[in-house]
Structure 1
Amino acid sequence: MRAMTVLAGALALSATLSAPARAAEKLDTVPRTLVMTAYEPEWNALVHAVQQPTAYQLNGMTYMTGVLEGKPVLLMQSGVSMVNAAMNTQLVIDRFAVKRIVFSGIAGGVDPGLSIGDVIVAENWGQYLEVSFARQTDGGWLPPEKVTTGAPGNWEFMYPRPVRVSNAAQGTQHMFTFAMDPQLLDLARKVAPTVKMERCVAAAATQRAGSELCLPHDPKVVVGGTGVSAGVFADNAKFREYLHAAWKARVLDMESAAVAQVAYANQVPTIVFRSLSDLAGGDREKNMEDTFEHLASVNSAHVVRAFLTALPD
């Protein structure tokens, strides 16, 4: 009898495990542009402008549907860093009708031709710490696997390796970077010259009038090049130089490549707008993110709102 009971339990468990998972019910079925931010300053630069807002709670995070610049949108925070970004991108795709992703946020500048306050719209995004750690030998570094043809160059013992990823259209690929949607990039190029951005950080309440901190230049929008991401707050001048040389990187952050990979797997058109709050180790004295994160968040939001205005739907 006991053997029969165990067998019946095993069969029931097998049936449960082999049954197809049911897709979670959509919380909202209106096709919307997902406007994604990573954390509060980026969210705050946009949330005040959302009309007809409705808030949903998932896993302790707020997802807000509404209208922004006349377009149906869904505004969210991904959470900081790669795992949060990937996890919450998949969650929102599963639970809402996401027709495209538009990311608005801040970043560190890698290209020495760019300045704090500029907004960068990279054409593709890669994960710069998807790497093999090489063994040190008398003859130099010895990677544990064959270096892929076309891989970015190594940083000492770290050798970039491609991500293995699939989607329904392309099957399985090995990729160093994920391309942004070409039509969305074309629209960004048209919008870029039209946007007026901020160059001054307002004086704090404790400071005298007229003591605001202003950039020595007018920020610009730049479309093109490569962005890179990793779960690292990067503030190292030599590594910044490496990323620019090996990856041809112009900008780095902690989320965009993760979002881009999930979007690729789900075939969701995506574009990322990032305004520079610091220079990732290229700042003259100290990292300037704390000083310029608000200005950078606002500048990215300005460009994203102009972009939404120009979208056809």
Structure 2
Amino acid sequence: MGAAACTPAAPVASMSPPPPHASTMFDDVPRTVVMTAFGPEWDALAPAIADGREYRDNGLTFLAGTLEGKPVVLVQSGVSMVNAAMNTQLVLDRFNVKRIVFSGIAGGVDPTLSIGDVIVARDWAQYLEVSFARETDGGYVVPEATDPEAPRNWNMMFPRGVRLPNESTPSKRHYSFPVDPALYALAEQVAGRVALQRCTPGPQPACLPEDPRIVTGGTGVSAGVFADNAEWRDYLHDAWGARVLDMESAAVAQVAYANEVPVIVFRSLSDLAGGDAGENRMIAFMALASVNSADVVRAFVAALPD
């Protein structure tokens, strides 16, 4: 399913904003939230939304309609962790949400992956939820007992996880939040059906040396950091088992866990987070990665049960 297969969207009707701090829902239709972080990812999906109706709240635009015949609401999380958490909760408060499906770009951490690949991780971790240890003559001393389940430290930075309950589970320390098992199983089925883009559009396209792949499994990691450092990349792969990193997904997964809403994340690699042979290539391949992730998400939404 390539970008050219997008059906032109119907004209969008705009709704007036609600009063400040309104607590009412915009509509009660059970919808899948399709979330992106920023403009290029939104642009890869918005033209495919049919019968679109815009709602606005807190400076955010919600585009409700259908995608591949399924009721959805498209929304941007905003870049970085606090924006992602805040706006995930906002869309949950304004719509009747059945599930969250994230589509976006990311940096590759697993050295077996390449730019353009789409990664569907099993779980998402916040790699900068850490204690900064005191350095002494005897080594680093953390201000609290070290959890044997925690990933190993990076110098003074010792992972500490985050404590969080939901309605079904008492508060406990989390080092990662899993995606929904049923959604993950469906993603594995869909993975073999989508042909990914290899070249950027335009009269002088930039082409990848090999066809991108859809890869499932492993851990994704997130933090409020644009990471472009080879040594740090190696640490995340070795200590966390990370395959991909970004700036939003773990925050979205945490809010989904707190609200007991199923979530899954699709991320296409725009760069290698410091593992590139030369300079970071996010700008060159951002649009291609956005389209590849969007194409997989469209196929996934089409496969969702009615």
What is the TM-score when the length of structure 1 is the normalising length?
Answer: 0.90
Q: Distance in 2 between matches of 1:134 and 1:178?
A: 25
1:309 aligns with 2:298: no
Shift of residue 202, structure 1, vs aligned partner = 2.4
Aligned to 2:282: 289
Shift of residue 64, structure 1, vs aligned partner = 0.6
Q: Distance in 2 between matches of 1:294 and 1:83?
A: 24
SS in 1 for 2:165: strand
SS in 1 for 2:184: helix
In structure 1, the gaps of 5 or more residues are 1-21, 204-208
Shift of residue 172, structure 1, vs aligned partner = 1.1
Aligned to 1:5: none
Aligned to 1:277: 270
**Paired amino acid for 1:40:** G
Q: Distance in 1 between matches of 2:210 and 2:139?
A: 45
Q: Distance in 1 between matches of 2:58 and 2:22?
A: 17
Aligned to 1:36: 35
Q: Distance in 2 between matches of 1:105 and 1:275?
A: 6
Shift of residue 149, structure 1, vs aligned partner = 1.8
Shift of residue 23, structure 1, vs aligned partner = 8.3
Aligned to 1:7: none
Aligned to 1:140: 139
Would you identify which runs of 4 or more consecutive aligned residues in structure 1 move more than 6 Å? none
Alignment of 1:4-15 (within 5 A): none
Aligned to 1:73: 72
Q: Name the larger-Rg structure.
A: 1
Shift of residue 87, structure 1, vs aligned partner = 0.3
1:222 aligns with 2:215: yes
Q: Distance in 1 between matches of 2:32 and 2:38?
A: 18
Q: Distance in 2 between matches of 1:246 and 1:232?
A: 18
Alignment of 1:188-227 (within 5 A): 188-203=187-202, 209=203, 211-227=204-220
Shift of residue 93, structure 1, vs aligned partner = 0.4
Q: How many residues align?
A: 286
Q: Deviations over 1:195-239 (max 9, x none)?
A: 011010124xxxxx4x32100111110111000000000000000
Shift of residue 256, structure 1, vs aligned partner = 0.2
Q: Distance in 2 between matches of 1:132 and 1:23?
A: 38
Q: Distance in 1 between matches of 2:151 and 2:222?
A: 14
Shift of residue 145, structure 1, vs aligned partner = 1.0
Aligned to 2:7: none
SS in 2 for 1:213: coil
Q: Distance in 2 between matches of 1:226 and 1:160?
A: 15
Alignment of 1:54-73 (within 5 A): 54-73=53-72
Q: Deviations over 1:154-189 (max 9, x none)?
A: 000000002100100112121100000000000000
Aligned to 2:17: none
SS in 2 for 1:245: helix
What is the TM-score when the length of structure 2 is the normalising length?
Answer: 0.92
Aligned to 2:16: none
**Paired amino acid for 1:258:** A
SS in 2 for 1:200: coil
SS in 2 for 1:264: helix
1:259 aligns with 2:227: no
Aligned CA distance change for structure 1 residues 213 and 23 (closer, same or farther; 3 Å): closer
SS in 2 for 1:300: helix
Q: Distance in 2 between matches of 1:43 and 1:212?
A: 22
Q: Deviations over 1:103-159 (max 9, x none)?
A: 000000000000000000000000000000011111111111111121000000000
Percent identity reads 65
**Paired amino acid for 2:69:** G
